């Protein structure tokens, strides 16, 4: 009977929809990335997420063997959709065909089209346990070597030799930016090595300044699924548990048109840190599993950057701030490198209940700095962390009940600071989802490694707020997304202290290969006017109209128009932008081009838009500010499955500027040319 019901479900899914799934399975990787995460409006690096998606794009995840956590890492399906998928697997057994997804309640066509390129349904009779290490590891071609070269063709001020009396360039190195990376992945272990030389940084061996050839080195070794040891990492790694109040190693989108998926942080546990950015721990971490209990412990010892200053009255040294991702181009920047040692010791205990989706966990961590941190309170927020020692503890939970997903985290920091995040995601019907999230970050709460849902860009501190989001499908092919967020800052330079933002977006699927979307966003919040020495309210409004369509199987186009309105004390200012994208796919060659016109003279009217970039760089949400034109071309050539060559060229020409940039980054003239060349070898 079960087999018969499964066959019937497949037949239902096949009717009138086979071509839709097939088209989704053949979608270009760049188009999928943009469809999933192009809603963001900030220049955020999503490198780790992109690498994970690229791995599954080349070696799809087997749905019949995938765990809930594996699918959550894709950041495509909601919790209710995952719930419905696993209910179907429990009731009807393994999937026989990928088309069966269309018969699962709650899985709409949009979600299926995004999911299909990253998953597969293989024959149930295949015994994966007997597969050799070669088949599970090397044959999947998930191991790769990468070499990347980037450069701005114009000569910036910092590279010119007539800037000082010594007739030497201010920057120590050349304008070239170089990255090399090696990633080896097998079924039971992984190994990674990355080296980066930034533009203006010198390729030198100088132990006195902690420079060993390349400026930045990253290394990790991961062993997994060895009896009780689920994961063991040595080198650079990140840790993420709960809602990100204390620890966040995942992908955080912030507020965007993804109104439902945006608010919940996935529990990624410990994972290798593959990015060259210095934002992770360095040391050792391990996770042990005993039935329903998992224990994670970690230790980190890393040198951070900071300018050492002397306290003459006490005869001691201190720093105003520390940096985890600095440049080392000038002598003053090199002098700050590795001046503050940070040690972190922490542990997380997680219990998974007998009911599906129930989870309870505790985070505890302690950090120590070799020099005390005393920020300048006269120039910034007096609530920033001060001292040499810091500690955090938190309790987090999540629970699934019918179509409701409850989650939250409460935390404490050394000195008595308190924070809490409580939320629920509800699937009201097959056509409506809703979410509510309440947050409270105390004025004296500090979490150096946390990044949870918030409005405040300076950290999980000094903010209260509530977020309401909804996604509605009133009829076939039409989706409505909206949210409203109210926030309040207890401490501020003056009144007002509260603000709010809201968004409304409508997306309509015209045909299988064409869709149109219209979006409006308004943000009203306090803003300090430095010259007037007071705080006033400013309002920013954004409008966006987008149309995506396919002329043929090989040619896809995207047209987008944006408009922004900003008002604070005087008359409002406006900004405009129009972009046209084109993609041409051939068997071994792909061309992606973009032409953009922008007129946003005021800084607050800048408009963000997604721009294609080479692989393993994260996403490129480039701000358009000023008046001019922007051209971009990405060429991808892949003659074999093991080799890929990418070339990116971008040109910006301003009509209202005679020089670009500021400080040592100034370019004389009104044009800027950027070139990127990357080669990837898979093995």
Local confidence band at 595 (pLDDT 50, 70, 90 cut-offs) = very high
| The pLDDT of residue 418 is above 90 | yes
| The pLDDT of residue 373 is above 70 | yes
**Euclidean distance between CA atoms 449 and 439, whole angstroms:** 18
pLDDT tens string 512-553: 888 999 999 999 988 766 655 667 888 999 999 999 999 988
Local confidence band at 16 (pLDDT 50, 70, 90 cut-offs) = very low
pLDDT of residue 366: 96
Contact present, 417 and 446 (Cβ < 8 Å) = yes
**Euclidean distance between CA atoms 670 and 191, whole angstroms:** 44
DSSP code of residue 277:
S
**Euclidean distance between CA atoms 18 and 11, whole angstroms:** 10
437-442-447 Cα angle (round to 5): 90
DSSP H/E element including 372: strand 359-373
| Average of per-residue pLDDT across 605-633 | 86
pLDDT tens string 122-138: 754 444 444 444 454 44
pLDDT tens string 47-66: 667 777 887 887 788 888 88
Q: Given the DSSP bridges, would you call strands 177-185 and 189-197 parallel, antiparallel or unpaired?
A: antiparallel
578-580-582 Cα angle (round to 5): 170
**Euclidean distance between CA atoms 59 and 42, whole angstroms:** 30
DSSP code of residue 14:
H
Contact present, 221 and 270 (Cβ < 8 Å) = no
**Euclidean distance between CA atoms 551 and 296, whole angstroms:** 52
DSSP H/E element including 23: helix 18-25
| Count of C-beta atoms within a 10 Å radius of residue 214 | 18
Q: How far apart are the first and last CA of the chain?
A: 45
Local confidence band at 581 (pLDDT 50, 70, 90 cut-offs) = very high
**Euclidean distance between CA atoms 340 and 499, whole angstroms:** 37
- What torsion do the CA atoms of 449, 451, 455, 457 make, to the nearest 10 degrees? 40
Local confidence band at 37 (pLDDT 50, 70, 90 cut-offs) = low
348-350-356 Cα angle (round to 5): 155
| The pLDDT of residue 490 is above 80 | yes
Contact present, 131 and 654 (Cβ < 8 Å) = no
Residues 6+ away with beta carbon under 8 Å from 469:
259, 260, 262, 263, 434, 435, 436, 481, 482, 483, 484
pTM, two decimal places: 0.86
pLDDT of residue 360: 94
**Euclidean distance between CA atoms 466 and 484, whole angstroms:** 8
* Relative orientation angle of helices 79-92 and 2-14, to the nearest 10 degrees: 130
The most distant pair of C-alpha atoms in the chain lies apart, rounded to whole Å, by 88
Selection from 172, 182, 237 nearest residue 211 by Cα: 172
Alpha helices in 240-330 (DSSP H): none
| The pLDDT of residue 435 is above 80 | yes
Beta strands in 611-658 (DSSP E): 621-624, 626-640, 643-654
DSSP code of residue 214:
B
Three-state SS at 130: helix
pLDDT of residue 610: 80
DSSP code of residue 46:
-
132-134-135 Cα angle (round to 5): 70
| The pLDDT of residue 260 is above 90 | no
Residues 6+ away with beta carbon under 8 Å from 315:
none
| Mean residue pLDDT across the chain | 84
| Average of per-residue pLDDT across 289-308 | 93
**Euclidean distance between CA atoms 348 and 364, whole angstroms:** 6
Selection from 191, 287, 280 nearest residue 238 by Cα: 280
Bridge partners of 432?
Answer: 429, 472
Identify the residue with better confidence: 106 or 66: 66
Quote the radius of gyration of the chain (alpha carbons, Å).
26
Contact present, 555 and 582 (Cβ < 8 Å) = yes
**Euclidean distance between CA atoms 414 and 393, whole angstroms:** 9
pLDDT of residue 380: 59
| Average of per-residue pLDDT across 439-467 | 89
pLDDT of residue 539: 92
pLDDT tens string 221-241: 999 888 889 999 999 999 989
- Which DSSP string corresponds to 505-526? EEEEEEETTEEEEEEEEEEEEE
**Euclidean distance between CA atoms 341 and 218, whole angstroms:** 17
| Average of per-residue pLDDT across 195-214 | 88
Contact present, 654 and 628 (Cβ < 8 Å) = yes
- Cα separation values, 44 from 37, 149, 359, 614, Å: 11, 21, 30, 15
- Which DSSP string corresponds to 472-483? E--STTEEEEEE
| Average of per-residue pLDDT across 437-442 | 94
Contact present, 637 and 644 (Cβ < 8 Å) = yes
| The pLDDT of residue 18 is above 60 | no
**Euclidean distance between CA atoms 631 and 653, whole angstroms:** 9
pLDDT of residue 298: 97
Local confidence band at 442 (pLDDT 50, 70, 90 cut-offs) = very high
Lowest mean pLDDT among 24-33, 89-98, 382-391: 24-33
Identify the residue with better confidence: 237 or 168: 237
Q: If you count them, how many residues does the chain have?
A: 683
Give the 3-state secondary structure of 136-174: HCHHHCCCEEEEEEEEECCCCHHHCCCCCCCCCCCCCCC
pLDDT of residue 13: 45
**Euclidean distance between CA atoms 361 and 352, whole angstroms:** 9
- What torsion do the CA atoms of 82, 87, 88, 93 make, to the nearest 10 degrees? 120
Local confidence band at 109 (pLDDT 50, 70, 90 cut-offs) = confident
DSSP H/E element including 11: helix 2-14
Selection from 226, 163, 218 nearest residue 195 by Cα: 218
| Average of per-residue pLDDT across 310-317 | 78
pLDDT of residue 353: 86
Q: Is 381 exposed, middle or buried (0-12, 13-18, 19+ CB in 10 A)?
A: middle
| The pLDDT of residue 39 is above 70 | no
pLDDT tens string 68-94: 777 877 778 877 778 788 888 888 888
| The pLDDT of residue 339 is above 70 | yes
Three-state SS at 52: helix
| The pLDDT of residue 395 is above 70 | yes
pLDDT of residue 12: 45
Q: In this prediction, what percent of the chain has a pLDDT beyond 70? A: 84
């Amino acid at each position: 009977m079960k087999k018969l019901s499964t066959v019937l479900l497949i037949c239902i899914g096949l009717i009138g929809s086979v071509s839709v799934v097939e088209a989704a399975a053949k979608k270009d990787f760049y188009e999928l990335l943009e469809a999933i995460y192009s809603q963001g409006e900030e220049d955020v690096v999503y490198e780790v997420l992109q690498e994970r998606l690229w791995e599954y794009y080349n070696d799809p995840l087997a749905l019949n063997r995938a765990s809930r956590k594996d699918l959550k890492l894709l950041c495509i399906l909601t919790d209710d959709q995952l719930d419905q998928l696993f209910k179907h697997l429990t009731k009807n057994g393994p999937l026989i065909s990928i088309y069966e997804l269309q018969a699962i309640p709650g899985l709409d066509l949009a979600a299926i089209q995004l999911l299909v390129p990253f998953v597969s349904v293989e024959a149930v009779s295949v015994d994966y346990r007997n597969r050799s290490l070669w088949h599970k590891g090397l044959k999947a071609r998930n191991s790769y070597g990468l070499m990347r070269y980037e450069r701005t063709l114009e000569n910036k001020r910092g590279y010119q030799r007539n800037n000082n009396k010594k007739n030497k360039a201010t920057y120590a190195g050349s304008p070239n930016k170089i990255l090399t990376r090696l990633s080896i992945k097998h079924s039971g272990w992984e190994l990674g090595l990355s080296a980066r030389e930034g533009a203006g940084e010198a390729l030198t061996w100088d132990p006195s300044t902690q420079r060993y050839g390349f400026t930045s080195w990253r290394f990790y070794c991961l062993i997994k699924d060895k009896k009780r040891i689920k994961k063991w990492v040595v080198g650079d790694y990140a840790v993420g548990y709960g809602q990100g109040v204390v620890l966040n190693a995942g992908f955080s989108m912030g507020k965007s048109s993804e109104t439902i998926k945006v608010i919940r942080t996935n529990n990624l546990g410990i994972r290798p840190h593959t990015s060259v950015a210095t934002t992770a721990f360095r040391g050792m971490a391990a996770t042990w599993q005993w039935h329903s209990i998992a224990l994670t412990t970690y230790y980190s010892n890393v040198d951070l950057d900071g300018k050492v200053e002397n306290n003459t009255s006490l005869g001691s040294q201190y720093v105003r701030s520390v940096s985890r991702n600095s440049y080392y181009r000038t002598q003053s920047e090199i002098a700050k490198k590795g001046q503050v040692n940070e040690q972190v010791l922490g542990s997380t205990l997680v219990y998974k209940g007998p009911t599906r989706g129930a989870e309870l966990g505790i985070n505890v961590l302690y950090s120590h700095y070799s020099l005390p941190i005393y920020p300048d309170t006269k120039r910034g927020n007096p609530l920033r962390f001060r001292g040499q020692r810091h500690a955090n503890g938190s309790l987090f939970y999540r629970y699934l009940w019918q179509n409701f997903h409850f989650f939250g985290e409460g935390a404490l920091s050394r000195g008595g600071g308190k924070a809490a995040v409580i939320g629920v995601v509800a699937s009201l019907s097959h056509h409506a989802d809703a979410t509510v999230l309440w947050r409270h970050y105390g004025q004296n709460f500090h979490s150096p490694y946390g990044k949870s849902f918030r409005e405040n860009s300076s950290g999980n501190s000094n903010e209260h707020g509530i977020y309401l989001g909804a996604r509605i499908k009133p009829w076939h092919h039409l989706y409505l997304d909206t949210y409203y967020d109210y926030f309040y800052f207890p401490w501020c330079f003056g009144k007002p202290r509260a603000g709010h933002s809201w968004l409304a977006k409508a997306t309509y699927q015209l045909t299988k290969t064409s869709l149109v979307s219209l979006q409006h966003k308004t943000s009203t919040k306090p803003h300090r006017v430095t010259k007037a020495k007071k705080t006033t309210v400013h309002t920013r409004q954004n409008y966006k109209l987008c149309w995506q369509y396919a002329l043929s199987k090989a040619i896809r186009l995207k047209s987008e128009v944006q408009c922004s309105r900003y008002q604070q004390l005087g008359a409002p200012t406006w900004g405009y932008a129009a972009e046209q994208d084109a993609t041409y796919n051939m068997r071994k060659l792909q061309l992606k081009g973009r032409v953009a016109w922008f007129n946003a003279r005021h800084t607050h009217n800048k408009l963000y838009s997604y721009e294609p970039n080479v692989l393993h760089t994260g996403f490129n949400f480039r701000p358009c500010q000023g008046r001019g034109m922007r051209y971009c071309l990405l060429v991808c050539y892949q003659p074999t499955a093991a080799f890929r060559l990418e070339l990116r060229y971008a040109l910006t020409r301003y009509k209202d500027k005679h020089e670009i940039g500021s400080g040592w980054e100034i370019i004389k003239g009104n044009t800027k040319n950027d070139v990127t060349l990357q080669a990837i070898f898979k093995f």
